[in-house]
Structure 1
Amino acid sequence: MPNETDRKMMEILRILADREEVLGAKTIAEELKRKGYNLGERAVRYHMRILDEKGFTERIGYAGRKITDKGLKELDKGLIYDQVDFIFSKFESMIYQTTLNPDSKQGTVVVNTSSIAPEKEAMNIIQEVFQKGISVSSLVQMGKTINGETGQKEMIMKTICGTTIDGMILNEGIPVIPQYGGLVKIEDNVPIRFTELIAYKKTSMTPLEAFTAKNMTSVLDVIQEGSGLIPANFRIIPSTSKEKASKLFEKLGKIGISGLLKIGNDGETVLGVPVEDNMTGIAVTGGISPLCAAQEAGFPVNIKLAENLMNINELNSLTKVKPLLKSSGSEPREKVRFLLSKAWNLIQKVDFDPYTHEGQLIANISYVNNQNLDEALEIMAEVFHIIPEYCTSRFFKVVPHPENNDLKGIATICSLSIDGILIKNGIMSTPKYGGILELEKKGPRFVELTAYSGSSLDPHEIYISKGMTSVYEALHGHGRVLAGLKEIPYLARQQAVEILSQVEDIGLSISKVGDPSELIYNAKVERYRSGIVTPGGLNPLAAVKEEGIDVETKAVETMVSLSEMDEF
């Protein structure tokens, strides 16, 4: 079980990764103290010997240690419960360290670091997006490197991150709370509303990172046709500070920084995002928009957000900006719908009786081309027969597409059905996270988590769209599969175990029921609660996509009767 020692070693890895240089025990001890860990040099050396033995760090003579590639991979996986907390704290740290003075044009800004093949067409696309003002700033730093894995030349581009805006607002003495990263719909060059959101405080990945999959953004459509989806982020400030914040944006605009999509009034919904009374919402374009456009055009792009701090004098303007987007008008009636609200309304419809096998369950529906249907079902059957423990159930149903006769839907049982069954039996079960389990010899562990309560999309849809699963590899004992974590009151654990045993008897899988307050597969459960891990209902469909078949996945879609479904 992860403990305080694990957390200290993870912080040492973070320090080495952030500094990107060889560090000695004294420097690391000083950095740890700043983070609240009172570790002396001797204790640091002890922890670093352990990290050396694990292959996560490497000793460089008497100068100190540097992090290895294996250490960087471990840092990415991390203590997942700690990583969820760390993501927001990382942004807070970046905000605090932003020192740019808009009057003197001096100080540090937060930058994203991206790599892309140095092809002229790709750079032309990127430059055009900057020129149209669909970014935080056209100030960039360019460089070249060699990809260590492919040996190919790459262009390294550092762009100003929207987190810089938060730092500037804070420097004006205004409390600022970053809330969401998401996608904003543009129509006729006017920002209309957020279509998707993920909360900063409730995910192990940077929110905008979740929306960098090629098929999620349509920045190219915006610059060519005036309509599409662009990445953006959202924060709130006290409404009494609106005038001060507006003047700041005017100053920032004069030095080439803005990306402002809309700033609201007291308690006003902003681009479909509700805002509490006495607060004001601010939406800003994502600094990664130009890179997203290049990715949409088919160029391989590696985007890392809020990666470093740089002095603004190290950046140069890539192009003159002629903003394309117009001011947003009246607020749309339609607000952003968060997944959990939709899920609760389906969960309460679950009336399945695990003893009589009658009633309805929640279903996912995923669509494939008619010509690929048979092959898709064969792959799904193979996944179920070899690793049934990582499939929600053996049941499926082929259904028509509501509009397109060239597509067929494949309905599978959604794991949120388990919550409905427990609630029907008087046990309050709360879906907490959708995640990815990495399968290892020492057992599975969560390596990604996104809260249902902070996302407008099912986390598993995001992971599939970004190609983060390796379900087909799981057929051979390793890989990454989708899973969910839910919580129940610890006093109800025994009754839940009895009900779930009946559920398993009819072919619905339960991965683990944890003890009260137990870390379960490296994920944290609240005190006085027990965690339940269930495999993702979309795992067989993820395997289909991994095998090169186009799949449009839709989670938590509708209700279905088990008696109407077929079995693998």
Structure 2
Amino acid sequence: MSESEHRMIEILRILSEQEKPTGSKLIADELKNKGFNLGERAVRYHMQILDEKGYTERIGNSGRNITALGREKLEKGLIYDQVDFIHSKFEEMIYLTDFNYMTQEGNVVVNTSTIYNEESVDIIKRVIENGLSVSPYINLNDAGKDGKMEVTTLCGTTIDGVLLNKGIPSQPQYGGLLKIEDSQPVRFTELISYKKTSVTPLDAFSAKGFTSVMDVVENGEGIIPANFRLIPGIGRQKAIEIINRLDKIGIGGALAISQEGKDILGIPVPEGMVGIAVVGGITPFCAVQEENKYIEIKIAEEIRDFKTLSPISTKISPLLKEAKAIPQPKISFLLSKTWNLIQQVNFDIEKRKGDIISNVSYINRDKIDIALNIMEETYNNNPKYINPYYKLINHPTDDSKIGLATICSLSIDGILIDNGIMSTPKYGGLLELTEPPLFIDLISYNGSTEDPHKIFLAKNRTAISANNHPNKILASFKEIPYISREYCVHLLDVLNNIGFSIYKIGKPRELTYNAKADNYNFGIVTGSGLNTIGAIKEKGIDVEVKAIEKLLPFEKMDRL
């Protein structure tokens, strides 16, 4: 992206945050705050280009608004930029938090979600009264007819802001899922790093089926969303004092604070640092979803004056006990867990024989004929983007279910490595089949414990079997040293002819479907074996989606 394009995307971001038409002076001032030295005259020049592209529109003499097309461009047009923006967005929120716990005045970070009935309010209240939230302070706003209400709750990022204001740098590391046993936090089961993802970590795990907040409320056992941050060890005692003061005025949610350099809840803590886990601000919203109530969840949406919030209840009785300092198995990220599988791939391109990595997902056995028909139709409609290979596998314990094995995209990394070419899986993403295709979301394999494609399926983000275009399919981005490009292109051409899904081979310093490789490398985009599984799910058939499951001999697989 050129410097001019970078400036224009920042202008679109500024306009997207405004509630009314905005002039060039305000935009120039905001750009300066973001490190861009751009005067009003230069801003007007860039705005004229944005007008011509249809991304902005002039509103009389009042200034400009961002258009729907501009918002679309901002959200998905430069996704490689967004993978860095998520982390910087939270850093900005932390900086803008100026809440003073002594006077109980100032700005805090909030999440705002939309609910549609009074029963949802009761669920939120019950979760908050059991202490499974950052704070009982909320804002409940009637947003219109049909029982629609906006509910604003405090985000745990507020605590990071308060710590920073007191001279303690708090660094958000992960959002994830925390296991609770006997009303005690035990260990994180899933994590996504705040860096190198276009999806806010807790948003990724907000899909139904990931959490069991109500089980924690009722039985003291289950899974809740939580965040993890690091602070310098020298600030530990001061941080504890601040957290205790905040707790006394109704801002809490701290679940565990490690000793300096000591691992906690399964997360390694570097020497000289202290780890702090805080309950996710969306926890009450996840409970609503678990109870089959429709809700639109948004994450760390905005800064708001604390005075706009008030307690939903004064009967707060936290049910969670203090986490015990018991060593837990260290959680490992997806890429670390899969390197050994990748190395075992031994597919011979000439003989078309050997082991590949497969995904094995399960459906009810009586649905297999329908599922295979959907897979075949999906492949026939778009053979360029769908891998045609599959294998039926018996369920290990349940005869009423049958497994559908498909080729995992990590097989391609294994094949290249087996042929002497270093291939590193970088992102799992959601690819929109525009012309040209563009990634609209990316999650780093090295920053997530869960397969990104499984996350996108859980959140119903795909449109693989849809008749309306453009389709949204699952794809991976891999990074390969430039020195090996010529031989790599040859191998990938052969694999593509066999039926492996190779979408695009990039060039150095080139955006490849909007994803970016590091210097001296090039990127390739490949399809996911879960695309046919996603098509089955879109047709309303229950699927237990599994990713990166086992090695299978390619020659034993069937073809659609």
TM-score by length of 2: 0.97
2:308 corresponding residue in structure 1: 314
Amino acid at match of 2:212: S
1:478 corresponding residue in structure 2: 470
Amino acid at match of 1:250: N
Range that drifts further, 302-311 or 122-131: 302-311
Q: 1:417 is matched with which residue: 397, 401, 411?
A: 411
CA distance in 1, matches of 2:153, 2:266: 27
2:479 corresponding residue in structure 1: 487
Amino acid at match of 1:548: G
Range that drifts further, 131-140 or 55-64: 55-64
CA distance in 2, matches of 1:210, 1:430: 23
**Is structure 2 residue 369 aligned with structure 1 residue 374?**
yes
Distance 1:152 1:438, change over 3 A: farther
Amino acid at match of 2:557: M
1:133 corresponding residue in structure 2: 131
SS at match of 2:515: coil
CA distance in 1, matches of 2:38, 2:118: 50
Q: 1:457 is matched with which residue: 450, 455, 458?
A: 450
Q: 1:357 is matched with which residue: 329, 352, 359?
A: 352
Q: 2:245 is matched with which residue: 247, 251, 258?
A: 251
CA distance in 2, matches of 1:332, 1:467: 36
CA distance in 1, matches of 2:366, 2:21: 55
8 A Cα contact 2:213 2:222, kept in partner: yes
How many angstroms does 1:546 deviate by? Answer: 0.9
Superposed CA offset, 1:347-396 (max 9, x none): 010011111112100000111111221111111111112212212x3211
Q: 2:379 is matched with which residue: 384, 389, 405?
A: 384
Superposed CA offset, 1:216-240 (max 9, x none): 1111111122111111000011122
SS at match of 1:257: coil
1:173 corresponding residue in structure 2: 167
1:292 corresponding residue in structure 2: 286
CA distance in 1, matches of 2:279, 2:254: 6
**Is structure 2 residue 329 aligned with structure 1 residue 337?**
no
CA distance in 1, matches of 2:107, 2:33: 20
CA distance in 2, matches of 1:69, 1:482: 25
2:214 corresponding residue in structure 1: 220
Range that drifts further, 137-146 or 125-134: 137-146
1:566 corresponding residue in structure 2: 558
Distance 1:267 1:68, change over 3 A: same
Q: 2:539 is matched with which residue: 539, 543, 547?
A: 547
- Please show how residues 253-272 of structure 1 align to structure 2 within 5 Å: 253-272=247-266
8 A Cα contact 1:355 1:502, kept in partner: no
Q: 1:434 is matched with which residue: 420, 423, 428?
A: 428
How many angstroms does 1:42 deviate by? Answer: 2.4
Aligned residues: 559
**Is structure 2 residue 127 aligned with structure 1 residue 124?**
no
Amino acid at match of 1:373: I
Amino acid at match of 1:77: K
**Is structure 2 residue 70 aligned with structure 1 residue 75?**
no
SS at match of 1:295: helix
8 A Cα contact 1:512 1:533, kept in partner: yes
8 A Cα contact 1:272 1:331, kept in partner: no
SS at match of 1:471: coil
2:391 corresponding residue in structure 1: 397
What percentage of aligned pairs have identical amino acids? Answer: 52
**Is structure 2 residue 500 aligned with structure 1 residue 501?**
no
2:85 corresponding residue in structure 1: 86
CA distance in 2, matches of 1:555, 1:7: 36
CA distance in 2, matches of 1:175, 1:42: 37
8 A Cα contact 1:389 1:535, kept in partner: no
- Please show how residues 25-36 of structure 1 align to structure 2 within 5 Å: 25-36=24-35
How many angstroms does 1:452 deviate by? Answer: 0.1
1:109 corresponding residue in structure 2: 108
SS at match of 1:435: strand
CA distance in 1, matches of 2:498, 2:87: 41
CA distance in 1, matches of 2:150, 2:459: 21
How many angstroms does 1:73 deviate by? Answer: 2.9
**Is structure 2 residue 188 aligned with structure 1 residue 199?**
no
CA distance in 2, matches of 1:107, 1:477: 46
How many angstroms does 1:54 deviate by? Answer: 3.4
How many angstroms does 1:505 deviate by? Answer: 2.5
Superposed CA offset, 1:290-335 (max 9, x none): 1111111112211211111112111101112110111112335322
CA distance in 2, matches of 1:78, 1:416: 26
CA distance in 2, matches of 1:545, 1:152: 30
Range that drifts further, 331-340 or 18-27: 331-340
SS at match of 1:532: strand
Amino acid at match of 2:241: K
2:180 corresponding residue in structure 1: 186
How many angstroms does 1:400 deviate by? Answer: 1.4
Distance 1:181 1:252, change over 3 A: same
8 A Cα contact 1:193 1:332, kept in partner: no
SS at match of 2:20: coil
8 A Cα contact 2:178 2:225, kept in partner: yes
**Is structure 2 residue 526 aligned with structure 1 residue 528?**
no
User: Which runs of 5 or more residues in structure 1 are unaligned?
Assistant: none
2:62 corresponding residue in structure 1: 63
Amino acid at match of 1:133: G
SS at match of 2:204: helix
CA distance in 2, matches of 1:338, 1:412: 22
Superposed CA offset, 1:374-425 (max 9, x none): 111111111112212212x321111112222221110000011010011111
How many angstroms does 1:459 deviate by? Answer: 0.2
**Is structure 2 residue 230 aligned with structure 1 residue 211?**
no
CA distance in 1, matches of 2:382, 2:96: 48
SS at match of 2:162: helix
CA distance in 1, matches of 2:323, 2:398: 34
8 A Cα contact 1:208 1:231, kept in partner: yes
How many angstroms does 1:70 deviate by? Answer: 3.2
- Please tell me the root mean square deviation across aligned C-alpha atoms, in Å: 1.4
Amino acid at match of 1:488: I
